[in-house]
Amino acid sequence: MSSLDIDDFTDLIERPDGGVRRDAEARRERLAVPPGSLGRLDDLGEWLAAAQSAVPVRPVERPRVVLFAGDHGIAALGVSARTAGSAVELVREVLEGGRPVSVLARRQGVPVRVVDMSLDCDPETLPEDVVRHKVRRGSGRIDIEDALTAEEAEAAFRAGMTVADEEADSGTDLVVLGDVSVGGTTAAGVLVAALCGTDASVVTGRGGLAIDDLAWMRKCAAIRDGLRRARPVLGDQLRLLATVGGADLTAMTGFLLQAAVRKLPVVLDGVVGAACALVAQRVAFRAPDWWVASHDSGEPGQAKALDRMALDPVLAHGVRVGEGVGGLLALPLIQAAAALAAELQEVVAAAE
């Protein structure tokens, strides 16, 4: 019998320190720079202060990109511009430094960690540190079958928790969370539609490579069929992930919840991360206080999920590539907010 009870997260997750946030707000009001003149940077600085339980806020010095990777059987229906089972090619490009996330991370000095949960490839073809949490080769075709067995879903969820613990224990002070998948936005659309109680057409976007109208219709039909299978299991979030999620999405959900337990702030990227965050919110209502939405990708499912969680994106550049790219674009603003909050508050302290 399983010892995993995800309902425990409701009690394990605390809100960021409200008293510290009030202290940060009070100090902010006494600065020479008028309150509100820094716009969203003020909010981000106060969010970080509460997450760190520290005034003045500490600089973000050890951020890390964590990417969960997987293939989805639903891609066989032609719902993606990429070939089904080809996510491993993207992962190799990330590891070799040729993907957008690799370039931005290299320029910013941020390490990138890739975690293979369900790539459709032989584990021996990738480094050991990438594949050691792998659950299976590809997730099931969610329009007609479960993405995972119950045992696989638990293993994937626990893997996400383990990765969160490893990052917290290693001194990572902020995580940019992303995915590398083929078919992942379709699974994400099913989760968002199911949890928001809406129709498939409302959440169906065109993905990272902007699929054509015929592919969009196939994707909409796939989300509709997955939604029919998701509705009967809405009361059990782990079963929901096993039914219509996938190993990568399940691991991301476990990561988000355990990161909140460990008080590790997370920057969400695109629609896949938003869908996992929405599932995690259903498990523990305080968890979203530990996350910030990096950008508006233009995907309708992402917009629906972020609205439901009351998370306002930092940027709106329409970046749909995934891989944590939107998170990395927002990271300098978050780091700037921390620096401004810390150094301007030090001026107040000196004056006092």
Q: Which domain holds residue 109?
A: 63-333
Amino acid at 55: V
Same domain as 276, residue 192? yes
Q: Are residues 82 and 219 in the same domain?
A: yes
Whether 1 maps to a domain, the answer reads no
Instruction: Tell me if 326 sits within 8 A of 346, measured CB to CB.
Output: no
Task: Give the H or E element holding residue 266.
Answer: strand 266-268
Q: Are residues 186 and 51 in the same domain?
A: no
pTM: 0.94
Which CATH number characterizes residue 346's domain? 1.10.1610.10
238 in any annotated domain: yes
For 212-245, the pLDDT digits (tens) are 999 999 999 999 999 999 999 999 999 999 999 9
Residue 51 covered by a domain: yes
Asked if residue 279 is part of any domain, the answer here is: yes
- Check whether residue 41 and residue 106 sit in a common domain: no
Residues in CB range of 26: below 8 A, 6 or more apart: none
* pLDDT recorded at residue 80: 92
Confidence of residue 138 (pLDDT cuts 50, 70, 90): very high
Kindly write down the DSSP assignment for every residue of 129-184, as one continuous string.
HHHTT---SSB--TTTS-SS-HHHHHHHHHHHHHHHHHHHHTT--EEEEEEEEESH
- Residue range 181-198: average pLDDT? 97
Q: What does the pLDDT read at residue 350?
A: 45
Question: What value does the mean pLDDT take over residues 64-79?
Answer: 97
Of 152, 167, 299, 323, the catalytic one is 323
> Are 27 and 148 in a shared domain?
no
Nearest 10 degrees: CA dihedral of 147, 195, 166, 177? 100
95 with 51, same domain? no
**Number of domains within the chain:** 2
258 and 326 together in one domain = yes
Same domain, 120 and 51: no
In this structure, the answer to whether residues 80 and 134 fall within a common structural domain is yes
In this predicted structure, the answer to whether residue 51 has a pLDDT above a threshold of 80 is yes
Interaxial angle between packed helices 18-29 and 325-351, expressed in degrees from 0 to 180 and rounded to the nearest 10: 60
**Is residue 98 domain-resident?**
yes
Within a domain: 53: yes
Per-residue pLDDT tens digits for 247-300: 999 999 999 999 999 999 999 999 999 999 999 999 999 999 999 999 999 999
208 and 179 share a domain? yes
For residue 323, indicate whether it is catalytic. yes
In a domain, 48, yes or no: yes
3-state secondary structure of 245: coil
Side-by-side strand order, sheet with 63-71: 112-118, 63-71, 174-182, 266-268, 291-293
Q: What is the CATH number of the domain that holds 294?
A: 3.40.50.10210
Q: What is the mean pLDDT of the chain?
A: 93
Same domain for 163 and 18, yes or no, is no
Quote the crossing angle between the two packed helices 213-230 and 237-244, to the nearest 10°: 140
Task: Kindly state whether residues 31 and 100 are assigned to the same domain.
Answer: no
Q: How far apart are CA 147 and CA 244, in angstroms?
A: 6
Q: Are strands 63-71 and 112-118 parallel, antiparallel or unpaired?
A: parallel
Nearest to 299 by CA among 268, 271, 279: 271
Q: How many Å apart are CA 105 and CA 120, to the nearest integer? A: 26
Kindly state the percentage of the chain with pLDDT values over 70. Answer: 94
